[in-house]
Structure 1
Amino acid sequence: MEIGSFIKLQRVKKGMTQEELAAGIVSMSYLSKIENLRTEASPEVVSMLCTRLGIELDSDKDITIKEKCERWFNMLFEVNDKEQIVEKFQELNELMTIVRSDSLMLFEIHKIRYFLVLGQYDNALEQINSLNEVSSSFDNNHLYYWYKFKGNYSFLNNEYNQAMKLFKLAEDKINQTHIPDSEVADLQYTIAVTHSKLINTLEVIEYSNKAIDIFQKEYNFIRCAQCHILLGISYRRIKMYEKAIKHYNLAKHLGELNKNNTVIQLTNQNLGYLYSAIGDSKEAIKHYLAAIDDESVGLNERLIAITNLIKEYYKAYNLEKALEVTEKAKELLNLAKNNVFYELYYYIVHSYIYAINEQYEQFTTLVIEDLIPYLKKHKDHGNLILFSNMLAKHFESVGKYKDSVKYYKLANLTYEEIVNL
């Protein structure tokens, strides 16, 4: 990292103006030239500027910092204890404030990923905005991670087209700098997931297979399993059900070999969805039940499974069982009150409770005023079609044909939007 870029980044981080940093050392215009790499400062000037910034120039410490950074960066891409990730971050952050390190810029860029891993989206955006001022000095290695992590942020905010643009910019940098194969595979997997959100099925298959090729060579079987799940989803969408089941079973097998319950139950989830799509309620319910009963799996995954199970029982007119499952769903909701996904599942579970109990006034109010706006905002096309159709059928059954047509139209327009993505 160029010393001028380093000085500029540290000044911005500490909230100092150029005038405050330059006073008594160099002119403001000369400092500007140093920061923007239009001139090289003497060692004496660099030393005085770093002293004012409270930074040590110690090459031995920088070697240690670089090694610690690489270990911490890797922690952000695997399933790790968040407490350990935070502990390592705090240690590095303290070192970075007192020692000049060539790893500083990468560390600052990886903070975006760090905040996203912790679910601190506002902090991630703040970090992106703070780095915009120095992004013109990024080299190709910096730009790769800059584009990728900004893409991660857009993806998590449901801005899938913007995320794809940024991921493709990152992909363009792969041949212009040294990126480890494992990192390339992670980007390819991320692009495949984004294509899946955009319903670009052929592209999902292409990028999933690219990622699998690398993950297999590195014996990273959990990541292989994740790719097989994506392939299963893609083949299910194009109604190649046997191929979809084959990939799901491969994913499940790899999950079992590695004793990874998250992968096993994610596979059960998707097998349940597949069997539901082909009208085999018995098999769908079997897989949803397997996903619900595993307490080692995350709350989000269990809530997805339990809401799908409610939908399946409701679709099969087994209202007694559906209502029984809503009671278990409410128990899970109580555990998930502080999670970002709580709102969605609250709306879905209570919509079904009202529908099953024929509390139609509460049902229509909740779906129209809360659930549908939420689904539109978060571009949840599948649930939007489902609940629009439920609402339309209810209005049709009570003779409110104008309202019925309105929501059938919403369901059809949403379906067309998916087709045209």
Structure 2
Amino acid sequence: MEYGKVLRFHRVKQGLTQNQLAEGIISSAYLSKIENDQTVPAIEVLELLYERLGLDFCESSYSHPSKEKLKEWYEAIVFKRREDAELLKEELLQQKETLANHQLYIFFELFRIRHLLLKNEVEKAYEAWENIRQHKDTFDDEMKFYYHLASGLVKYYRNEFNDAFQQLMEAKNYSSSLEIEDWEQSDLFYLLALSTSQANHLSASVFYTDQALEIFQTQYDLAKSADCHIIQGINYSRLRNYAKSLENYHLARKIAAQIGNNIQLTLVYINIGTLEARMGNHAVAIESYEKSIEYNDLSTSFRNSYLLTSIHSLVIEHYKKDDHEGCLKWVNYGEEKLKIYPSKPFQFHFEFYKKVINDDKDISNFLESDVIPFFEQKKEHIYIIRYSMFLADLLEKQRMYKKASSYLRLAIKLLNKHSQLGGILL
């Protein structure tokens, strides 16, 4: 039994200093040694410390209750069985030891982070992650595995992709000394594939995607196999291997159609549209984006984002074709959808094209004061590049060469750093 870790965990959880816990029992220096497993104190000392923390020493001396229910919950989260995950969470919360026992509480909180991310409650997940970090010193290797995995996911959802990759690699390092199940191994490879793709480590992403895909195929997990083909489609698109990219997208499309997964079909057609647009095939791109809207049933918040992404892409493609009427049609459609699904980024996108087509004289100020600063704050590099280049062109026409040059430099700097931009992942 690791008494030191248990004491430190409950002391920190209750907001006590070492002086407050040790007062009248032992010195704070001796408590520090106990908490750091540098000494084994007398049973009488442990009993007094446990009593001050409101813990039952005898109960804590026995082995921890089974983690089976927690792992069952975690598996439901990983496989996105939302209803099962919610029911299991409530069942766990009704068990006293879930929150009172050091080990169970740590696992519960680490798994809860992923559950919150599954529900797209990113800020709540970040708060839970911030809270659990203070107990890092009490983690064993298994806890560290899940901690780094959860950290990687939190970083990924906050668009900190390099940090996400580093955290997931830490999880991978710990996994080698643990007996994790095949579904957890494939999940780890899949998350590594996602983070490396977004961080532009494309060869690594191709490798980890293949590793994940191999396991998913042996498990006959068609949905995850389709996810892997979508990632590979994006990877090969960024590597400019467009034939290989399309091959993967079409494999994903066939699987998604076979299992009736409309989310994946929506994503496949958005990404095919992005690829065709990159190759200058605007008519095919438009057809693909329209297909993506057909499959989007809008039952979750992230699907609302997919819908707005498709509409925005249609606006861009019609604008590229100098079809201003078609462009405005989709702008108006997008603004109607914003009344139901508000989004500041898409509000700016649609307003921008409306101003461009209507030759609004305020467009330079709009870009400089509102749009570019907003996307800089969000670290949305693709839009900083796009709008900076447009603004630079406008300023040059107005003979404001110095300011035009500054925005052009900004765009070129980001282009050199983020040349891989393009493609939407799950």
TM-score interval, smaller chain: 0.7 to 0.9
Cross-structure match for 2:373: 373
* 1:329-408 to 2 correspondences below 5 Å: 329-337=334-342, 342-361=343-362, 363-408=363-408
Q: 1:42 to 1:77 in 2, by over 3 A?
A: farther
Q: Distance in 1 between matches of 2:419 and 2:296?
A: 36
Q: Distance in 1 between matches of 2:336 and 2:135?
A: 48
Cross-structure match for 1:304: 309
Deviation at 1:200, TM superposition (A): 2.3
Q: 1:146 to 1:101 in 2, by over 3 A?
A: closer
SS class of match (2:200): coil
Deviation at 1:313, TM superposition (A): 0.8
Deviations 1:120-142 (A, max 9, x none): 44444444444344323322211
Of 185-194 and 29-38, the range deviating more from structure 2: 29-38
Unaligned runs of 5+ in 2: 422-426
Deviations 1:177-226 (A, max 9, x none): 22222222222222222222222222221111111111111222211111
- The alignment-based identity, stated in percent, is 29
Q: Distance in 2 between matches of 1:61 and 1:98?
A: 16
Q: Distance in 2 between matches of 1:86 and 1:364?
A: 48
Cross-structure match for 1:315: 320
Q: Distance in 2 between matches of 1:367 and 1:86?
A: 43
Q: Does 1:188 align with 2:189?
A: yes
Cross-structure match for 1:268: 269
Q: Is the 8 A contact 2:10 2:102 kept in 1?
A: no
Q: Distance in 1 between matches of 2:244 and 2:121?
A: 38
Q: Distance in 2 between matches of 1:326 and 1:77?
A: 37
Deviation at 1:367, TM superposition (A): 1.9
Cross-structure match for 2:81: 80
Q: Is the 8 A contact 1:55 1:100 kept in 2?
A: no
Q: 1:50 to 1:330 in 2, by over 3 A?
A: farther
TM-score, length basis structure 1:
0.87
Deviations 1:334-358 (A, max 9, x none): 2233xxxx22212112111211222
Deviation at 1:238, TM superposition (A): 2.3
Q: Distance in 1 between matches of 2:231 and 2:380?
A: 18
Q: Distance in 2 between matches of 1:260 and 1:202?
A: 28
Q: Distance in 1 between matches of 2:124 and 2:40?
A: 34
Q: Is the 8 A contact 1:292 1:305 kept in 2?
A: yes
SS class of match (1:173): helix
Q: Is the 8 A contact 1:299 1:332 kept in 2?
A: no
CA RMSD, 1 decimal: 3.0
Q: 1:249 to 1:360 in 2, by over 3 A?
A: farther
Q: Is the 8 A contact 1:55 1:98 kept in 2?
A: no
Q: 1:87 to 1:21 in 2, by over 3 A?
A: farther
Cross-structure match for 1:285: 286
2:382 counterpart letter in structure 1 = G
Task: Return the match for 2:333 from 317, 322, 328.
Answer: 328
Deviation at 1:368, TM superposition (A): 1.6
Q: Is the 8 A contact 1:54 1:97 kept in 2?
A: no
Q: 1:254 to 1:97 in 2, by over 3 A?
A: closer
Q: 1:360 to 1:88 in 2, by over 3 A?
A: farther
Unaligned runs of 5+ in 1: none
Deviation at 1:13, TM superposition (A): 1.8
Q: Distance in 2 between matches of 1:383 and 1:320?
A: 23
TM-score, length basis structure 2:
0.86
Q: Does 1:134 align with 2:139?
A: no
Q: Is the 8 A contact 1:34 1:41 kept in 2?
A: yes
Q: Is the 8 A contact 2:392 2:408 kept in 1?
A: yes
Deviation at 1:174, TM superposition (A): 2.0
Q: Is the 8 A contact 1:167 1:191 kept in 2?
A: yes
Q: 1:365 to 1:61 in 2, by over 3 A?
A: farther
